[in-house]
Structure 1
Amino acid sequence: MKAAQTRVLLTGAGGGIGTAAANALAAAGSALLLAGRSAGQLAAQARALRQRHPAAQIEWHAGDLRKEIDIHALSARAEAQECNVVIHCAGTPQFGPLGDCGIDTMTNVLQTNLLAPMALTRALLPHMRGLPRAQVIFLGSALGAIGLPGFSVYCAGKFGLRGFAQALRRELADTGVRVQYLAPRSTRTAFNDAAVEAYNRATGTAMDSPEHVARALVRMMENESAETFLGFPEKIAARLNGLAPVALDGAFAKHRRSLGGHAAHHPIHDDKEMKNAH
């Protein structure tokens, strides 16, 4: 759909890519329902967008998508706003050896990056199937197709999200609901902390600006392509990894070494145990 025809529910609107996406969508003519956890941040973001784009329709809704009650509240608000596009942009990072990642962190990453968009999509589906045309766009990652040392739990969530999007796209192929998956590579936002930036420098990993990803997101919404990977060599690596994943194992020695050489034998701690120890 052309942006001027869309009423977009944008989750994770206050994040780095979310902020850039909200600005790009408003500039292109989309009406927006911004969603995130902080009411104050969303209210300020909405005011700024209205000042920057006076013709844009901007609303907001605060809630925690890890909670079922908040998912249903947001779904009802999106239906009331007659949203015909949902863009799942909310996410949380994870980086480091698996031994540094406790159960609480694993649970939070998978709930936020995988279960929340699945549950919200399920809640919205009756409304969206009742529309002449609708779109569900998942902001995934190149790491939804490439298992990268240091991102094991994050990859698990993004691999799952890509599989969910692919299966749902095929499930809804005879309806008016288009399901899409956008896979950026590493992006220059606060989502990637100093440790990730150092890892990227050590491994020669390029990073894109959030504005670059936002422009790609608007293009994808308008051209309705099923799946798009951003960046080279990431888009080639994603294809190769799909065809012959074991053949690429040796290509990640530099990434493995850049974790500090202790990824294989680092002790495993539970988050609650760590909290009790301090």
Structure 2
Amino acid sequence: MSKKLAVVTGATGGIGAEIAKQLAQNGWRCLLVGRNETALETLRKSLGEGHEIIVEDLQDERAMAAIAVRADALGGTALLVNNAGLNQMLPFENTPSSMILNQLCVNLVAPMRLTQALLAQLKRTHGTVVNIGSAFGAIGYPYQSIYCASKFGLRGFTEALSRELDGEVQVKYLAPRATDTKINDMKVRAMNEALGNKMDSPELVANEFMTLLNSSARRRAIGFPEKFFARLNGVFPELVDSAIIKQLKTIKSFLGTKESSL
């Protein structure tokens, strides 16, 4: 079995923890990155021997160098999983500028910075980067404007870098749909139920991650009809406009916002 090193961000729970479990089961050593030392240590112990943690805030640019130094000391990064993410469903006009900056930093800027910091190691190991995106990286959704902007950006970054580094480092993009993790609060869960939107388990997403990792594919989307709507939105966005705008009344009811002309 491989004993290559995987750096996994956002590893304190949800999708990140399940990806780490799957990687460990398949012979990878994991460097688990997050802000909650207790949660990271609990996960590390559950994975068995050979795994490490590093407590860092990805909004701090200095964290990138610290992670790179630690990974190099462990033999060098062969896989980077940019999984950490933030989201909050709000009307754009009510979104504090600090929240805009935080989401863009964690969801987009941090993956770019960390990839850059680890790139020399990834080239040396002929490694792989997997960026965890979203169905909302291909479909603009009401009251998710900042999250969509960050994930659209992450998808574009992945695609461009994949072509730039062809033959040197594999760069891949996984697009889950709604997933049963803490990133989705109670109002989002209630809204999804009212709209008939399915939520996948973190275990399912981790299985899809492993399928992508072990394939020659550069991108993978999860779930129907989300995959269909993402493709349709790329070709005939007007049709998706109409479908989503019909949902606005229901969406707004879970935000506590008044009807307004959009």
Q: Structure 2: how far apart are the matches of 1:36 and 1:13?
A: 6
The structure showing larger relative contact order (alpha-carbon pairs under 8 Å, at least 6 residues apart) is 1
> Residue 61 and residue 224 in structure 1: after superposition, are their counterparts in 2 closer, same or farther (change >3 A)?
farther
* Letter matched to residue 152 of structure 1: S
CA distance change for structure 1 residues 250 and 36 in 2, over 3 Å: closer, same or farther? same
2:101 to 91, 103, 107: 107
Contact 1:99/1:263 (<8 A) preserved: no
1:243 maps to a residue whose letter is: V
Structure 2: segments with no counterpart, 5+ residues: none
Q: Name structure 1 gaps, 5 residues minimum.
A: 51-55, 267-278
Per-residue Cα deviation, 1:22-48 (whole angstroms, up to 9, x for no partner): 111111221111111122221122112
Show the counterpart of 1:44.
42
- CA shift, 1:5, in A, is 5.4
Once the two structures are superposed, the pairs formed by residues 121-140 of structure 1 within 5 Å of their partners are: 121-131=115-125, 133-140=126-133
Q: CA 1:247–1:126 in structure 2 vs 1: closer, same or farther (change >3 Å)? A: same
TM-superposed deviation, 1:263? 6.7
Deviation at 1:57, TM superposition (A): 2.3
Distance in 2, Cα, partners of 1:57 & 1:176: 27
For residue 124 of structure 1, report the CA deviation from its aligned partner. Answer: 0.9
In structure 1, what is the equivalent of residue 72 of structure 2? 79
Report the alpha carbon displacement of residue 147 of structure 1 after superposing the two structures with TM: 0.6
- Structure 1 counterpart of 2:142: 149
Q: Where has structure 1 moved over 6 Å in runs of 4 or more?
A: none
Figure out how many residues of one structure are paired with residues of the other and give that number: 257
Counterpart AA for 1:138: N
Aligned with 1:96: secondary structure? coil
How far the C-alpha of 1:219 sits from its partner, in A, is 1.5
* 2:229 pairs with one of 224, 227, 237: 237
Query: Which one-letter code corresponds to 1:170 in the other structure?
Result: R
Shift of 1:14: 0.7
How is 1:1-278 mapped onto 2 (pairs within 5 angstroms)? Answer: 4=2, 6-50=4-48, 56-81=49-74, 82-131=76-125, 133-173=126-166, 175-257=167-249, 258-260=251-253, 262=258, 264=260
The C-alpha deviation readout for 1:86-126, integer Å capped at 9, x for no partner, is 00110111212213311111111000000000110111112
User: Once the 2 structures are TM-superposed, how far is the Cα of residue 77 of structure 1 from its aligned partner?
Assistant: 1.2
If the length of structure 2 is used for normalisation, what is the TM-score? 0.93
Quote the Cα distance in structure 2 between the aligned partners of 1:108 and 1:95.
14
Q: Distance in 2 between the 1:211 and 1:198 partners?
A: 21
Superimposed CA distance per residue, residues 134-169 of structure 1 (whole angstroms, 9 cap, x where no aligned partner): 100000001000111121110000000000000000
What's the TM-score, normalizing by structure 1?
Answer: 0.88
